[in-house]
Amino acid sequence: MKKTLLTTVMGAVAALGVSAGASSAATLDDVKDKGFIQCGVSQGLPGFSNQDSDGNWSGLDVDLCKGVAAAVFGDATAVKFTPLSAKERFTALQSGEIDILSRNTTWTASRDTQLGLNFAGVNYYDGQGFMVRSELGVNSALELSGASICTNTGTTTELNVADYFAANNMQYELVAFEKADEVVAAYDAGRCDVYTTDASGLYAQRLKLTDPAAHTVLPEIISKEPLGPVVRQGDDQWFNIVRWTHIATLNAEEFGITSANVGEMMGSDNPGIKRLLGGEFGEAMGIPNDWAAQIIKSVGNYAEMFDRNVGPDTPLGIARGVNALWTDGGLQYGPPVR
């Protein structure tokens, strides 16, 4: 490991910040040393990663990090959250500031191949949609020619809009803001006719508008937005832990294991459940063997996470749709634990 004099000086100066821990390729060792996981999340997207007034984080993306913490430490609270803008998120991961990026990030070829990152799975299948004021009387995205469109910079949404409007031979004006809150403010102020982002984001941000009921999400979904956790490239052990944390929640749902019944399920005769809750796979990943049980105990299975954060009974009111298990015709398919 290379350590220069600069490190030493900086290390002394960095007293205020995070201490200069010894980090190397093995994120797991690093995480175990410091005793918690540093998780990059969004600056506030209800349902995915949002902070209440007491500073507690909640959401689907947040639960994933908590799940990883439960798998590694058996303690879902051993995780700290770093709110990141779209611009900062990849640098933060590349530079080692965070261990997992779980920030509704779309899995694309360029990000997977050029930025030194790996996507560990898809915890939410999303697609880009449009929201308009109901009073406009627009029923389809194809009626939006000439509209002004507000969105975030640094996201795939900007490029998708460009493709969609070019393909349908429509004109538009794009107003792209650095921060999500500014997009909402500008749209709310009437700067734009249309607000576009991932459909889940539209439902979430609609809650922040002055009069949420006066806005409609159009039926068109114009892109594929597989959102998932991201880790640094070249650390397969850590990659596996994050990937299998997600898969464990899927398998748990399939087997009917919930946070409530995980205790009694430990004694189940079903060989699949036995392998998941008591197999030897934890050891292979460098974590305790009861990893899956700990995950389910603390954050629940995928269905519980979904219903708690974004499901029909939450203010967001999103249906499972393509995020249903494969057995129910959805896309969430957990590879077998064997």
Partner 1 sequence: MASDVAATQQTSEEPQVALLNRPEVRSMLFQGLLTLAIIYLIYSGITNMFDALDRAGIASGFAFLNSSAGFAISQSLIEYSQSTSTYFDVYVVGVLNTLIVAAIGIVLATILGFVIGVARLSDNWIIGKLSKIYVEIFRNIPLLLHIFIWYFGVLRLLPHPRDSADFGFMGLLNNRGYFAPKPIWGDGSFMIFIAFLIGIVAAFMIGSWAKKRQMATGQQFPTFWAGLGAIIGLPLLVFLVLGAPLTWDIPVAGGFRPSGGMTMIPEFIALLLALTTYTAAFIAEIVRAGILAVNKGQTEAAHALGLRQNKTLNLVIIPQAMRIIIPPLTSQYLNLTKNSSLAVAIAYPDLTSVFAGTALNQQGQAVEFISITMLTYLTISLVTSMFMNWYNARMALVER
Partner 2 sequence: MSDNNISYVRTEMLEEQPAPLSEKGPVAWVKNNLFSSVPNTIMTLIGLWILYKIIPPFISFVFLESVWTGADRAVCATEAQGGVQGNDWFGGCWAYVGAYMKQFIYGRYPDAELWRVNLTGILFFGSLIPLLIPSAPYKSANIIFTVVIFPVIAIVLLTGGHLEFNGFLLPDSIMAPSTAKFAVDFVILSLIIAGIAALIARGSDKNPMPSVMGALFFMGAVAVIFIVLGVNFGLEHVETPIWGGLLVTLVIAVTGIAAALPLGILLALGRRSNMMFVRLFSVIFIEFWRGVPLITVLFMSSVMLPLFLPEGVEFDKLLRALIGVALFSAAYMAEVVRGGLQALPKGQFEGAMALGLNWGQMMRLIILPQALKLVIPGIVNTFIGLFKDTTLVLIIGLFDFLGTIQLSYSDPTWSSPVQNITGYAFAAFIYFLFCYFMSRYSTFMEDKLNTGHR
Name the DSSP class of 74: S
Q: Which of 44, 47, 121, 282 binds partner 2 (CB under 8 A)?
A: 44
Piece in contact with partner 1 (CB under 8 A), picked from 59-67, 178-186, 279-287, 317-325: 178-186
| Beta carbons within 8 Å of 222's beta carbon, 6+ residues apart | 127, 128, 129, 130, 141, 160, 161, 163, 164
Alpha helices, DSSP H, located in 74-217: 89-94, 109-114, 156-167, 180-188, 199-206
- By residue count, the chain amounts to 338
Q: Give the phi and the psi of residue 109 in degrees, each rounded to 5.
A: -65, -45
3-class secondary-structure state, position 202: helix
For partner 1, the closer of residues 118 and 323 by Cβ is: 118
Task: Check residue 88 for interaction with partner 2 (CB under 8 A).
Answer: yes
Beta carbon of residue 259, minimum distance to partner 2 (angstroms, whole number): 28
Task: Check residue 9 for interaction with partner 2 (CB under 8 A).
Answer: yes
For partner 1, the closer of residues 58 and 148 by Cβ is: 148
3-class secondary-structure state, position 236: helix
Task: Check residue 26 for interaction with partner 1 (CB under 8 A).
Answer: no
Piece in contact with partner 1 (CB under 8 A), picked from 75-83, 188-196, 198-206, 247-255: 188-196
Task: Check residue 85 for interaction with partner 2 (CB under 8 A).
Answer: yes
Q: Which of 189, 214, 260, 284 binds partner 1 (CB under 8 A)?
A: 189
Burial of 131 (0-12, 13-18, 19+ CB in 10 A): buried
Task: Check residue 23 for interaction with partner 2 (CB under 8 A).
Answer: yes
CA-closest candidate to residue 146, choices 177, 173, 119:
173
Task: Check residue 266 for interaction with partner 2 (CB under 8 A).
Answer: no
Q: How many CB atoms lie within 10 A of CB 137?
A: 9
Q: Which residues bind partner 2 (CB under 8 A)?
A: 1-4, 6-12, 14-24, 43-44, 51, 53-55, 80-85, 87-88, 91-92, 94-97, 178-179, 181-182, 184-185, 189, 207-212
Give the binding site for partner 1 (CB under 8 A): 2, 4-6, 86-87, 90-91, 94-95, 114-117, 144-148, 153-155, 158-159, 161-163, 166, 172-178, 182, 185-186, 189-191, 193, 232-234
